[in-house]
Every structure is written in structure tokens, then in C-alpha cells.
Amino acid sequence: MKFDVKKLNWTRQPESCSISPDRIEIVTRPHTDLWQRTYYHFRNDNAPVLQMSLEEKFFSFTVKTEFSESHHRFDQCGVVLYLDSENWIKGSIEYENERFQHLGSVVTNHGYSDWATTEIPADVKSMWYRLSRREDDFCIECSEDGRVFHQMRICHLMEGGGEVRFGIYACSPEDSSFRAVFTGMELTECRWLAHDGQKPDEEI
């Protein structure tokens, strides 16, 4: 498997972009986001998403994000698996203020999002992500050095059993814009290993 930028397609265009085989830059538009309903009771579905399609049931996609220009509340960029407006996954760092940011992931099933986060220092300006698929289950991991990855989220996508689309995204939910840089993009065999432990329940 190979991550080929020629296979990437936009779901909504950013303010501007630059795409080469080893580096992608995205400049966000203000008032762009991905979120569905939960808690805030609004639906935002206008963030630029750049993805490729794949039918393979087991794979991992790795990418490094750099966002030194992010400076406004909710500025974010990261990895995404976007099927449609009501079914998707994203992992990113979301700027909050001069003290901290939120490192987290969102899973949206059938039009309802959830957000799992942890606070990290505001001076963190790069992060690696690895998105792995095992059929219709998915894992998001993060790494500060691209070598040692830490689990962020294991989840299930109700509509994630067939062909999927995955890649990168960047957005600025408020009146802001920044440049996000993506490098180290790699598509490999699944590095999220099969579970070694309790066996599945027997079907009756």
C-alpha cells in the first residue's frame, strides 16, 4: 500500500492549499468546523477534508501535523475518516488559550458526536497521528516523535464496514485562519494488532 497524493480528493476547499508528494499545506477559512448535535445542539459540517478511498479492511495511516500558526480558540488540524456528514472520526489538537490546548478525538455515529480530550500545554505545535482500521473498528494514536505512539481512542463506526475515505483536515471554527502543515504521510499494513486476551463471547 502507498499513500499517493494523486488519489486525494477534497470534501470542501480550504482558503488555499499546496500539495506535493511529501508535504501538504492547508490555510483554513474562518467559521469552519466538524460537529454534530451533542451538547451544543448545533450542526457544523463545512471543514475542508482531503481524503483518499480504500476498501482494504486492515490498514494504518500515519501523518505528522505542524501548526505553529494556530493561535485562536478552537483552531485545529489532524487526521480524519469522513464518510458523510453524520458518520466520521477525527483526531487533533484544538487550541484553547495561551495556557493549554485539547488533544482529543471525536467519533460521530448517525449524527451524534462525542469528544474525548486531555489538556496539554499550549506550546505544543506538532503531533503525529496514526489511524488504524480493523474492519469496522478503528483506533487513533498520537506521538510526539513519530516512533512511540500512545492510544487515544478505540471506537466503532456504524457505517464503517465498507469502503472508507480517510486523510487530513484543518479548520477554524471562530473568526480565525492559520496554516497547517502535514508531512510523513504513510499508508501501511495494520499496526493495530489483533487483541491478545479475553476471547469473544460465543454466539448462541
Is 90 exceeded by the pLDDT of residue 134? Answer: yes
Beta strands in the chain (DSSP E): 9-11, 16-20, 23-27, 34-36, 43-45, 49-54, 58-66, 76-84, 87-95, 100-109, 112-121, 126-134, 137-143, 150-156, 164-171, 179-188
What cell does 182 get?
Answer: 502535514
pLDDT in the model for residue 119: 98
Query: Is there a contact between 59 and 1 (Cβ–Cβ < 8 Å)?
Result: yes
pLDDT in the model for residue 18: 98
Q: What is the mean pLDDT of the chain?
A: 96
pLDDT in the model for residue 203: 63
| Residue 198 pLDDT grade (very low, low, confident, very high; cuts 50, 70, 90) | confident
Length of the chain: 204
| Residue 147 pLDDT grade (very low, low, confident, very high; cuts 50, 70, 90) | very high
Pick the CATH number of 5-188 from 2.60.120.200, 3.40.50.720, 3.90.920.10, 3.40.50.150: 2.60.120.200
Is 60 exceeded by the pLDDT of residue 197? Answer: yes
What's the CA gap between 31 and 51, in Å, rounded?
21
Query: Is there a contact between 2 and 144 (Cβ–Cβ < 8 Å)?
Result: no
What is the sign, positive or negative, of the torsion defined by CA atoms of 174, 11, 119, 144? negative
Query: Is there a contact between 53 and 164 (Cβ–Cβ < 8 Å)?
Result: yes
Is 80 exceeded by the pLDDT of residue 202? Answer: no
Query: Is there a contact between 93 and 100 (Cβ–Cβ < 8 Å)?
Result: no
Q: Where are the domains of the chain?
A: 5-188
CA atoms within 13 A of residue 129's CA, in its CB half-sphere = 27
Q: Which of 56-70, 101-115, 186-200 has the lowest mean pLDDT?
A: 186-200
* Alpha-carbon distances of 170 from 11, 26, 68, 128, 148, rounded to whole Å: 12, 7, 13, 14, 24
* Alpha-carbon distances of 100 from 87, 122, 125, rounded to whole Å: 29, 4, 11
pLDDT in the model for residue 19: 98
